[in-house]
Structure 1
Amino acid sequence: MKPFKVFTLCVDDAEQTFQALQDKDIYHFISDVQYQTINELKERYTFLVNGSLNSNETWLNWVIYQDDTKTVPVGTIQATILKDEQKTYVGYVIFKEFWNQGYGTAALNWLIQFLIENINININIKSLEASVDMRNTYSIRLLEKFLFERVGTDGGDFIYRRDL
């Protein structure tokens, strides 16, 4: 695995991530749709960047790149903080070219550390939650590696939780 950099999502990231998001294999395990044009993806990124209209929610979204110049996107990570519930939903998508190279582990580690060091100071987060497709054995192992425990199901997904 090469070193990576994490950048806050911006609309212009659509130009770099669009091609990687065209790989149909990514969508076997995530509920997002495959955007057919860069403009559709830019609209989605605009929505995410603008954040939730619900004052209880804070949306945080990042793009992982291999370089400072943002030319080689590796994947995305996100956190949805629910202040009243004192929990954060976490998620990640690693682009297929970078599967099984340690980027998922590094990204989830980065996200957990970021939340503990930067968010938990102002918002008392008691737990992290993740939803994972029951067939996604790699992601299940990744969550369990970071001490997430299976606490339930939702349709075809397992729900995992980690107390902080």
Structure 2
Amino acid sequence: MIVMIKTLETSRLQLRKMTISDSAEVFENWTSSEVVAKYLTWAPHSSLEVTEEYLSFEEKNRREGWGIVLKGSNQLIGNIAVIDDKEKIKTKTMGYVLGEKFWNQGYMSEALTRVINFLFETTDVNRIEAEHDVNNPSSGRVMKKSGMTFEGVLRNAGLNNQGIVDVAIYSILRSDLS
């Protein structure tokens, strides 16, 4: 079954469903990069075939996930997705990744803000949260710029390519937008 995902727009970005036809660009721009994967939970992809398998899974299964396309160049620069949905407590957890050459230009904050607004507008979610390795403060800045509030640090609560790590938690509540 192919999952339908609504395309979202910002002034500089288009957020759209990724497909297997995006494999080469995704592999080149972020999945093959050791620098990009440093604080992530998955290893850099060793081949285009690994990225194709990943995108095949995403295309069939991801209900709330978008490729981040730079308007003008039409270049796929990263992706953003709901990586956990705790329906009973109306909480969604966000994850995102951006190609290194697109860092520090505000793209991820712009994408995250748009997705947060979309989720509050179209679902009954009450809380949207995200976490990052405390050694990756740039990710925390993205969360803060997107309106999320720092809640604290959970010690030895995360596992990524650096091992077991402390994670900083951020969230935004529906009531924060009123």
TM-score, structure 2 as length reference: 0.76
Query: Is 1:5 equivalent to 2:8 in the alignment?
Result: no
Shift of 1:92: 1.3
Supply the distance in 1 between the matched residues of 2:151 and 2:95 (Cα, whole angstroms): 15
Cα deviation, 1:77-102, whole Å, max 9, x if unaligned, reads 11133322311011111110111111
- The total of aligned residue pairs comes to 152
- Contact 2:120-2:126 within 8 A present in 1 as well: no
Q: Tell me which residue corresponds to 2:41.
A: 31
CA RMSD, Structure 1 to Structure 2 (Å) = 2.0
Q: Which runs of 5+ in 2 are unaligned?
A: 1-10, 159-164
> 1:106 corresponds to which residue?
110
* Cα distance between partner residues in 1 of 2:53 and 2:68: 20
1 CA distance for matches of 2:59 and 2:79? 13
Higher mean displacement: 95-104 or 14-23: 14-23
Q: Distance in 2 between matches of 1:50 and 1:147?
A: 30
Q: State percent identity of aligned pairs.
A: 22
Q: Secondary structure at the match of 1:74?
A: strand
Q: Which runs of 5+ in 1 are unaligned?
A: 52-57
Give the drift of 1:152: 4.3
Residue pair 1:151, 1:161 contacting (<8 A) in 2 also: no
Select 2:98's aligned residue among 94, 117, 126: 94
Cα 1:69–1:140 change in 2 (3 A) is: closer
TM-score if structure 1 supplies the norm length? 0.82
Matches within 5 A, 1:47-66: 47-51=57-61, 59-66=63-70
Asked if 2 retains the 8 angstrom alpha-carbon contact of 1:60 and 1:78, the reply is: yes
Look up the equivalent residue of 2:13 and give its one-letter code: F
